[in-house]
Amino acid sequence: MNRVPITIWTDGSCTTKDDRKGGMGVYLLADGCEVALRRGYWNTTTPRMEQRALIAAVQMINVDIPTDVLIWCDSKFIVEAIMNGGVRQWRADGWKGVANVELWKEFVTEVEKRRKMRLCVRHINGHQKDLLNPVIYGNNVADALADYHTQDSYVQDKPLEGFSWYVHDPSSLIFIAKNEEHEYLVTHDDIVLLGDCHYATEEDLVNCINGKWIFDGYYNGDYEINTEIKNDLVYG
């Protein structure tokens, strides 16, 4: 059977604001056919979006067909990790100290499923303007697909671990911060910690966002809250 040449472009994006929304995009060309894939995530990072796009690209390859796959990626770190033996060495060392290790393991697993695939990953500089160049054009398509602003929906990426609840006084604005920031936060007059600082589960955080924890504390007599703020919390 003849080998099928496939060219893919991948990209990822993320914001450090709000709930850290991110997006990943994959643009595939094979035998004159185009395939585009995009997904939105929250509580993520740009490197994780780049990795998820890479994994999704490999998953698009049929395991039963001999393929020559070329992936263009604008992350030098990812390209060098794959092509210069970094991933192989990390695996040999037991993945010690590797960031986003679960995604690298998933990438390796997906590649190993595709015994008939020959894979090459190359770097391309992002945000180039020469759209008449087909390689640059493909990168721009992947970049547009990965735009975190325009995703249709967002699913959780990283687990919510090690976060604590805080409330800003006098605005009563609830916000979430890493537990390590506790000592810094409580030394400032405009920060009031409600109850003991503790690790929050995902359910805890959802309840916090919905105001349940505020009202539990109010009804238990842990603190006072005036009617005006209470109504804002109920109806706002």
Which residue among 156, 173, 194 closes a domain?
Answer: 156
- Given a cut of 50, is residue 131 above it in pLDDT? yes
| Residue 190 and residue 231 in one domain | yes
Distances (CA, A) of 45 to 9, 129, 198: 19, 25, 24
Structure confidence by residue, pLDDT tens digits, 216-236: 655 566 555 443 433 343 333
User: Is this structure's pTM higher than 0.85?
Assistant: no
Q: Are residues 121 and 22 in the same domain?
A: yes
Question: What residue numbers bound the domain in which 194 lies?
Answer: 163-235
First CA to last CA across the chain, in angstroms?
63
- Among 135, 163, 139, 145, CA closest to 43: 163
Q: What pLDDT, on a 0 to 100 scale, did the predictor assign at position 167?
A: 47
**169 has pLDDT over 60:** no
Tokens encoding 21: 């929304």
Query: pLDDT tens for residues 47-80?
Result: 999 999 999 999 999 999 999 999 999 999 999 9
Q: Which residue has the tokens 């000592």?
A: 183
Lowest-confidence segment of 121-125, 148-152, 153-157, 209-213 by average pLDDT: 209-213
What mean pLDDT do residues 168-180 have?
A: 47
Q: Do 9 and 112 fall into the same domain?
A: yes
pLDDT, position 22: 94
* Whether residue 109 sits in one domain with residue 143: yes
Asked if pLDDT for residue 87 goes beyond 90, the answer is yes
Number of domains in the chain: 2
